[in-house]
Structure 1
């Protein structure tokens, strides 16, 4: 046999790969029992979930004395025990952290989740829903060193785009296509002839370099001027409202608002209002639109409540959210048109002319909502979570 006719050598099958192949197929000739294969896969999933749970636990940098390992087996991170004031409140009425991180992601069909996870695709979708509102203006998208401005057909360098758009708009936000907890979000503006990024003096070249260095494509969004009464809560951030919608499975699956939270920026959170960065959360009364006192994600074992803003002294408790009826109607209308999504955390900005949709999330921000009370105390919410296998 010539060299040209010689058979190519077979790739070696390593022991681990062989074991995985056998356990994937319970009818393998070697006769691995189906029950053994299922047990192996179940234990592997359990181990992976436990590892991710502990990773989240230790993302909270705190003293060991603030950790509560006795609650881990009940599904609660140590910080959540303080946040929900357990065991003074009934733990069974709360969506715990295991359910939150590993089960609530099932609410939206996995094949549809990308629509919400990708801010670009969500923008295009909302623009076509025919809602009686505007959405945040999408100004352009950066990839591979250049920006594609919308709705133009050109492709320009980042520094040129930033100079042009800031001259026109004065203030914009830069966001990754995918992301949560405001990671990778930057504020860029020009004020009194000076460029600023996240409130700090900067230059066009420094801002452009940050965009070029970011490892993924980013979107440029117009900054929206919030209503004066919303700016009163904290003028240094855009103070958004998170509303959670889900279908009423006890009736005709019409969407309802399970909880609403007014997020307010602080010195800790900087130019954004994000809860995980140190912003405040006040409950919005669903009937009246008035705010409760606000909480802040605890650094230790004490949960602080603020009737007034801890930095500015602005009154929070009793504050009236403007355009509240219009905000509820907008969100319920949008949720009905996207009923196939079922479970959406909406972020809304209140402007002088009414509510505007900023974005929507599969991640509802469970603890920013449940700090104001357990979601399972609402029979409709409890029925939905049971129907979807969360509890």
Structure 2
């Protein structure tokens, strides 16, 4: 007799506990979103595991719920990597894991538990340099650009929003924040990527998963994020940046969107601040991006599911970070994620789609 196929759930995973934790956190968040939304619509969304903002963001007025990965399901996906997801949840740990595998921004300093560690002699070299260099300070366990500080270093000082600090003073300010931080050197962009918007590092979110039947990784979805004047120093779609779908097979860039203050999205073909047309172009060095994001799975065989953030430098891709339960809004604003058969099969195999709504 052939045994029936059941969703794969690692023995270490407390799925019931996670479901209740996810529901509790999202319910509290949901109370702050779209207060003007019709209560019946809000209730219908929540019964299916969606936060209230998805009604407008995903244009659900004109679409059914079918095919969209819900907010509850997206957070439940954290358990797909099990305890190994910790490698992705800390930027310094991932940096070490990929150090011999992929290009990454140079790590200059790390701050953990109130201790400042300068990791590279280049920190002092940059500090004393005559030509300013861009650096980024990020919470080591942060996401969505929260707490990100973009600064320039050179001439004996670190400059943040026009304010100058000594090198030690800058690191001490990070230490006193109470958060773990990493400081990295900025990445030079491929000229085509920089041209999209020179004010930010414009990155790709590449959703790579491991086929549960043969173990081979594949790219299920990809999106290009481009900064704007509104998004400031970051390119995050949730913070005012643009999102364009990218064909995983070819790297072709499709028509994009930007999020309006109302919560709806507006179609964009060109950059709103420069007029440069982006839709219809192709991501430079796309085959190298695929090789990089899929090749990392060979060296990290315990991972099943990663949302890679990748910059494209003049000579090839640079891995900025990885996400153990990637946000999916940047993909789903262009269409339901689960309409891709291979992705639907992946989530079904890992039991994610069984969570059709919040815990009782």
**Secondary structure, in 3 states, of the residue corresponding to 2:53?**
helix
CA–CA separation in structure 2 for the residues paired with 1:51 and 1:179: 20
Query: Could you say which structure has the larger radius of gyration?
Result: 1
Which residue in 2 is equivalent to 1:20?
none
User: Residues 240 and 72 of structure 1: is their aligned pair in 2 closer, same or farther, counting only changes over 3 Å?
Assistant: same
Moved more, 365-374 or 228-237: 365-374
1:135 lines up with 2:104 in the alignment: yes
Structure 2 length-normalised TM: 0.84
Q: Cα offset for 1:344?
A: 0.4
Q: Distance in 1 between matches of 2:85 and 2:29?
A: 22
Give the 3-state SS of the residue equivalent to 2:98 in structure 1: helix
Aligned to 1:201: 162
CA distance in 1, matches of 2:49, 2:291: 35
Q: Secondary structure at the match of 2:78?
A: helix
Match of 1:58 in 2: 31
Match of residue 79, structure 2, among 106, 119, 122: 106
Could you say what secondary structure the match of 2:237 adopts? coil
TM-score, normalised by the number of residues in structure 1: 0.78
Root-mean-square deviation (CA, aligned residues, Å) is 2.7
Alignment partner, residue 121 of structure 1: 93
Deviations 1:284-308 (A, max 9, x none): 1122212112222343253211111
Choose which of 186, 194, 203 in structure 2 pairs with 1:223.
186
How much has 1:363 moved relative to structure 2?
2.5
CA distance in 2, matches of 1:330, 1:134: 9
Runs of 4+ in 1 over 6 A off after TM superposition: 41-47, 191-194
1:296-327 Cα shifts (integer Å, max 9, x gaps): 23432532111111122221111221101111
**Which is further off, 291-300 or 350-359?**
291-300
1:93 aligns with 2:56: no
Which of 1 and 2 has higher RCO (CA within 8 Å, sep 6+)?
2
Gaps of 5+ in 2: 1-13, 354-360
Match of 2:247 among 285, 291, 299: 285
Question: What SS is found at the alignment partner of 2:255?
Answer: strand
Alignment partner of 2:81: what SS? coil
In the alignment, what sits opposite 1:360?
322
Q: What is the deviation of 1:339?
A: 3.1
Shift of 1:269: 1.4
Tell me which of 295, 300, 306 is aligned to 1:338: 300
Contact 1:241–1:261 (CA under 8 A) maintained in structure 2: yes
Residue 245 of structure 1 pairs with residue 208 of structure 2: yes
CA offsets 1:97-123 (integer angstroms, 9 cap, x no match): 11112x1111101x2121110111111
Distance 1:331 1:291 in 2: 18
The 3-state SS of whatever aligns with 1:90 is coil
Deviation per residue, 1:118-144 (Å, 9 max, x gap): 11111111014xx3x422111121346
**Aligned twin of 1:316:** 278
Question: Does the C-alpha gap of structure 1 residues 290 and 144 become closer, same or farther in structure 2, counting only changes over 3 Å?
Answer: same
Shift of 1:274: 1.4
